[in-house]
Structure 1
Amino acid sequence: MTETPTPAPADGRVSVVIVDDHAMFRAGVRAELAAAGADAIRVLAEAADVDTAVAAIAEQRPQVVLLDVHLPGGGGAEVMRRQPFHDTRYLALSVSDAAEDVIGTIRGGARGYVTKTITGPELVSAIQRVAGGDAVFSPRLAGFVLDAFAGSIDVAAVDEDLDRLTEREREVMRLIARGYAYKEVAKELFISIKTVETHMSNVLRKLQLSSRHELTRWASDRRLL
């Protein structure tokens, strides 16, 4: 069966679906796009997990999906894997700037990857460029992709280590390795300090490490910071 291309809105704006599991962040992105790109971007829908994202994309057929990397139900890569509409383009918008997230998301089919520190006007520009067929990356993240293709990052080895961890354990691991205190990690991830301690214990056990100092060195060696 021939696939019908995603139609551009009649007013010329780029149609977008926002996928992120934090409602306040989705609202913030929608507000930023309205303020910086009301004449350029039209938000069709929002979704908070893999299943609702797949359904929203199938129903709305947006030109661009703003996709968080870590989502309930399997993550951003699972959304792309389950979505048959190849004319829809994906722009990852994530708090993570770790090499394995960037590389894994691009391998999954995203056309670009920007972090949540991006400004409203910059995000509008990135969406427009992705809709037009360009690949868009924050400068540091583009280096990860080039390094992966050049072979200077051993993607397979990094993936094997990280496969031992759950998505939440990866998030805790990365923040702890960057020097965050348990209290700061709890605030950043909206979880309790006790839960952070449990995740940290699991991370050290699974990676066969004995301290946060060893964890920082382990993450640094794999360019995960």
Structure 2
Amino acid sequence: MISIIIVDDHAVVRSGLKLLLSEKEDMTVVGEASEGDEAIALAGQLRPDVVLMDLSMPHGKDGLTAAKELSQILPDTAVLILTMHDDDEYLFRAIQAGASGYVLKSAPHEELVTAIRTVAGGNAYLYPTATKRLMSEYMDCFQAGSNQDQYDTLTTREKEILSLAAKGYANKEIAEQLFISVKTVETHKSNVMEKLGLRSRPDLIKYAVKKGLLNYE
């Protein structure tokens, strides 16, 4: 069962989302919050699988700031941004803040449900047009700096681990898929981060998008 906290400053939006998600057999809404600080406190108590987070909450801590704090203090809880902002700046900032996904409020209900299941499973989710824009943006950057790109210095195994890690798989899951030890995965991942000059998981995701290593179905 996927446990969810809904964070939005509009009570009617929270009620509608709760009604929608409660109809799903594999989902349960365990709490609601109207702003970021309340969401962080509630998530600390309930340890949900997913925090469904609005960006614009004028009467308290905003969604981006809350998402960043949650990604640091509750790394096993996925933050899924649900917003009206179809804007590259907000999208990039959400990824940098550590969000696992980004969905528009105008999206069909089933897309939201799919996004929740995706991030709850440890994977990343972006709505299709956002993926295209990210790939375009980072492909431009890649082409401009391709001479300095260190991707070709990675071993075949390191490339496999880079792709799986960017998709959100945990070290144990990667180890099981590749039939290697968790310690070996950790060593390879550390080597990848060092070779590519990456510092965080959001950096790794953005790099993988740039290289076309993620496939969002």
Q: Which amino acid is 1:23 matched to?
A: A
User: Contact 1:126/1:136 (CA < 8 Å) preserved in 2?
Assistant: yes
| RMSD (Å), alpha carbons | 1.5
Instruction: Give the 5 Å matches for 1:7-18.
Output: 13-18=1-6
For 2:213, the equivalent position in structure 1 comes to none
> Which whole-Å CA distance do the structure 1 matches of 2:110 and 2:68 have between them?
29
How far off its partner does 1:64 sit? 0.7
Identity %: 36
Q: 1:142 aligns with which of 131, 137, 149?
A: 131
How far off its partner does 1:136 sit? 1.0
> Which whole-Å CA distance do the structure 2 matches of 1:82 and 1:126 have between them?
21
Q: 1:44 aligns with which of 30, 35, 39?
A: 30
Q: Which deviations, in whole Å up to 9, do the C-alpha atoms of 1:174-204 show, x marking residues without a partner?
A: xxxxxxxxxxxxxxxxxxxxxxxxxxxxxxx
For 1:195, the equivalent position in structure 2 comes to none
For 1:61, the equivalent position in structure 2 comes to 47
Q: Does 1:130 align with 2:116?
A: no
For 1:183, the equivalent position in structure 2 comes to none
How far off its partner does 1:28 sit? 0.8
> Tell me, which stretches of 5 or more residues in structure 2 are unaligned?
142-217
> Which whole-Å CA distance do the structure 1 matches of 2:87 and 2:119 have between them?
21
> Which whole-Å CA distance do the structure 1 matches of 2:2 and 2:111 have between them?
15
SS of corresponding position for 2:39: helix
Instruction: Give the 5 Å matches for 1:87-166.
Output: 87-151=76-140
> Which whole-Å CA distance do the structure 2 matches of 1:122 and 1:81 have between them?
24
How far off its partner does 1:151 sit? 4.5
User: Contact 1:103/1:148 (CA < 8 Å) preserved in 2?
Assistant: no
Structure 1 segments, 4+ long, off by >4 Å, are none
How far off its partner does 1:74 sit? 3.6
How far off its partner does 1:144 sit? 2.9
For 1:75, the equivalent position in structure 2 comes to 62
For 1:23, the equivalent position in structure 2 comes to 11
- The structure-2 alpha-carbon separation of the partners of 1:108 and 1:151, relative to structure 1 and needing over 3 Å to count, comes to farther
For 2:214, the equivalent position in structure 1 comes to none
Q: 2:74 aligns with which of 77, 85, 99?
A: 85
Q: Does 1:33 align with 2:17?
A: no
Aligned length: 138
